[in-house]
């Protein structure tokens, strides 16, 4: 039973380029969450999606960042016109349903901006 799969594991972009991060949740999980982690810090919530819907994007910057979770295929976190400050580890988590359920995390995408 595969866990949460994220790719790529490492992504290098130059300033101004676009970054696309993918997340396939665990089988049977329809709730996906994206978090961002800076070195030596805890994870910070960005966005919560359910199939085809954004439920809560309160932690995601209004500019340049977007997320989707289409009916078919992985969830995508997209960062346009990347800047140095976007360098971080981005983690995806999924769960089967909401309400006192642990989220299961992928191993993240480490984004480096040159």
Partner 1 sequence: GESVGLHLPTLSVQEGDNSIINCAYSNSASDYFIWYKQESGKGPQFIIDIRSNMDKRQGQRVTVLLNKTVKHLSLQIAATQPGDSAVYFCAENINNAGNMLTFGGGTRLMVKP
Q: Provide the binding-site residues for partner 1, judged by CB under 8 A.
A: 4, 6, 31, 33, 35, 38-45, 48, 55-56, 59, 91, 93, 95, 98-108
Q: Which is nearer to partner 1, 38 or 80 (CB)?
A: 38
Main-chain phi, psi angles of 84, to 5 degrees: -55, -35
Distance of CA 72 to the CA centre of its chain: 17
Report the chain's terminal Cα–Cα distance, integer Å: 37
- Beta carbon of residue 36, minimum distance to partner 1 (angstroms, whole number): 11
Distance between CA atoms of 104 and 81, rounded to whole angstroms? 30
Closer to partner 1 by CB, 59 or 74: give it.
Answer: 59
Least separation in angstroms between CB 60 and partner 1: 12
To the nearest whole angstrom, how small is the minimum distance from the Cβ of residue 42 to partner 1? 4
Q: Is 1 helix (H, G, I), strand (E, B) or coil?
A: coil
Closer residue to partner 1 (CB): 18 or 56: 56
Quick one: 68 or 107, whose CB is closer to partner 1?
A: 107
- CA dist., res. 50 & res. 69, Å (int): 7
């Amino acid at each position: 039973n595969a866990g949460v799969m994220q790719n790529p594991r490492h992504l290098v972009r130059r300033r101004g380029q676009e970054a696309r991060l993918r997340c396939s949740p665990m089988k049977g999980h329809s709730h996906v969450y994206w978090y961002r982690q800076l070195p030596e810090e805890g994870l910070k919530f960005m966005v919560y999606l359910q199939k085809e819907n954004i439920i809560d994007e309160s932690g995601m910057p209004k500019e340049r960042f977007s997320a989707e979770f289409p009916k078919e295929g992985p969830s995508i976190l997209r960062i346009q016109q990347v800047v140095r400050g976007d360098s971080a580890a981005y983690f995806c988590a999924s769960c089967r349903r909401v309400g006192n359920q642990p989220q299961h995390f992928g191993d993240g995408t480490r984004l480096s901006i040159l």
